[in-house]
Amino acid sequence: MSHSLSEYLHENRDRFEKELGEFLAIPSVSTESRHSKDVEHCAEWVGEHLRRAGVGTVEIVKTDGKPIVVAEHIVNPDLPTLLVYGHYDVQPVDPVELWESPPFEATVRDGCVFARGSNDDKGQVHMHIKALEARLKTGVGMPVNVKLVIEGEEEIGSVHLEAFLRENAQRLACDAVVISDTGMLGPDIPSIGIGLRGLAYLEVFVDGPSGDLHSGSYGGAVVNPALALAEILTALKDESGRVTIPGFYDRVRPITDEEREALNALPFDEDEFRAETGAVSLGGEAGYSTLERLWYRPALDVNGMISGFTGEGAKTVLPAHARAKVSMRLVPDQDPNEIAELFSRYIRDLAPDGVRVTVKALHGGWPWAANPESPLFDAAAAALKRAFGREPVYVREGGSIPIVPLFEEIFEGPVLLLGFAPPGGNAHAPNEWMSLSDYHRGIETIARLYDEVVHRGV
Ligand code: BES
Ligand code: ZN
């Protein structure tokens, strides 16, 4: 990286942080219709800042849902082309009373910026905007072509993105896809993502009597939907922590010796991980380590349950309904549609007499594992090493970015997960934060990646 580029990054640190604060102040919550104007405004903000950075063409594409920001900076069609994907939408802020500073007021404490979206994913999208700005404003220029697709529906399942990508496959043609929407293994440990879990998310409804009943007049003689639901849910796992759904593990790839060795060599601190969760101890499927459970094994979780009386004090009532939101994180080669089907069938088998049990699939996504053979991974490793001063580690992620396998399929090129979210960064939770030093080193990494891609190919 030339002298002028590093100087530019250094001299503009404060302004970058100020602009990041403006970006984070827009409440672009895609799940809440009351924020739909904010979501649109946020798309405009991203477009405007890409223009200001000097990016050639920028368009805000309307969809039946949230707008997609599409931009292109083409230097020379013969050069490699990177497609950057990210999202400007964020999760809701509830429970808002647990935030130490307002979620849409970027607040710096101890070198970290606290705000919804600071790491997932606005902070990381902003790194790409600033890396482009630095190259274009200093006249260092771009050694590669860059296209960007920044969507506003990632947190609600990328509803309109697939159709958009397929319809615009020609226009978006690229040699590789770069995504900064994942995390780092530890503080100061630059990380390259090589796997994501998939997802099958369903809701279970248990309906009993036609209305809530007096639990004295009817309790003991009418089946209680809340208890019926609890019975069903507890039957989904056995004492060893294994999921009991028939066929659930059929397609799960066994962990290879090589993979185990690589896992064991990682600087992963299990105590720190436990402390980060605040749980008294960790727990999961017997016979597997924490990283194996998170990265190589599927998981089943109850995300929420609703039933009966939850107000102050005691009210004697036998509820008419109970429901639960259940998610399953999937690993290669599990198929989200097949898993949803196996789950639904099994739930129907488990349903006790006296209640009606129905299941509705909410959304899903395929698991993904990278083929890290591509020189793109060496380019990323070199860029990270230069910005962070140490070799990166290769990590999988327990989370999901369902669109990733589709990128590989449509563009027939590698996908690089170049993520900078801190471990314990509270994504989707109160007090989400991003380390500012990682934010700046992230910008530098991206600005250097372009050169490394030219040197090493994709
Ligand atoms: N940035 C996350 C994906 C992620 C999560 C990467 C954890 C690494 C670790 C993304 O914004 C996200 O939250 N994805 C959802 C997908 C869902 C809404 C389809 C997820 O994983 O729950
Ligand atoms: Zn998210």
Q: Are 282 and 290 in contact (CB under 8 A)?
A: yes
Check if 435 has its Cβ closer than 6 Å to any atom of ligand 1.
no
Domains by residue range for the chain, with CATH = 3-196+367-456 (3.40.630.10), 198-257+291-365 (3.30.70.360)
Average pLDDT over residues 381-402: 97
- Distance, CA of 348 to chain centre: 31
Q: In DSSP terms, which residues pair with 248 in a beta bridge?
A: none
Average pLDDT over residues 226-242: 98
Tokens describing residue 122: 């606005």
Average pLDDT over residues 322-326: 98
Question: Which residue has the CA at smallest separation from atom 7 of ligand 1?
Answer: 399
pLDDT at 2 over 90: no
pLDDT at 339 over 90: yes
pLDDT, residue 371, reads 87
Residues 96-113 pLDDT 10s = 999 999 999 999 999 999
pLDDT, residue 1, reads 52
- pLDDT interval class at 372 (50, 70, 90): confident
Ligand in nearest proximity to the CA of 158 = 1
Average pLDDT over residues 397-423: 97
pLDDT, residue 321, reads 98
pLDDT, residue 103, reads 98
Q: Which pTM was predicted? A: 0.95
pLDDT, residue 3, reads 65
Counting from 1 in the atom list of ligand 1, the atom nearest the Cα of 156 is 18
- Which residue bears the tokens 């690229």? 174
Residue 155: CB atoms within 10 Å: 20
Average pLDDT over residues 377-405: 97
Check if 291 has its Cβ closer than 6 Å to any atom of ligand 1.
no
Shortest CA distance to 185 belongs to which of 88, 284, 263, 285? 263
Q: Are 411 and 174 in contact (CB under 8 A)?
A: yes
Q: How far apart are CA 362 and CA 174, in angstroms?
A: 32
pLDDT, residue 288, reads 98
Check if 121 has its Cβ closer than 6 Å to any atom of ligand 1.
yes
Q: How far apart are CA 297 and CA 276, in angstroms?
A: 21
Counting residues of the chain whose pLDDT is more than 70, the rounded percentage is 99
Shortest CA distance to 67 belongs to which of 101, 104, 96, 28? 28
Check if 124 has its Cβ closer than 6 Å to any atom of ligand 1.
no
Average pLDDT over residues 134-159: 96
3-state secondary structure string across 63-131: CCCCCEEEEEECCCCCCCEEEEEEECCECCCCCHHHCCCCCCCCEEECCEEECCCCCCCHHHHHHHHHH
- Whether the bond into 95 is cis, omega within 30 of 0: yes
DSSP state of 285: S
Q: Are 74 and 145 in contact (CB under 8 A)?
A: yes
Average pLDDT over residues 298-326: 97
For 317, counting Cβ atoms within 10 Å of its Cβ (0-12 exposed, 13-18 middle, 19+ buried), the class is: middle
- pLDDT interval class at 230 (50, 70, 90): very high
Residues 112-125 pLDDT 10s = 999 999 999 999 99
Three-state DSSP state, 359: strand
Residues with CB under 5 A from ligand 2 (ion): 120
Question: Looking at this protein, which amino acid is placed at residue 258?
Answer: E
pLDDT, residue 292, reads 98
Q: Are 252 and 223 in contact (CB under 8 A)?
A: no
Query: Known catalytic residues?
Result: 89, 154
Cα of 420 vs centre of ligand 2, distance in Å, is: 14
- For all residues of the chain together, what is the average pLDDT? 97
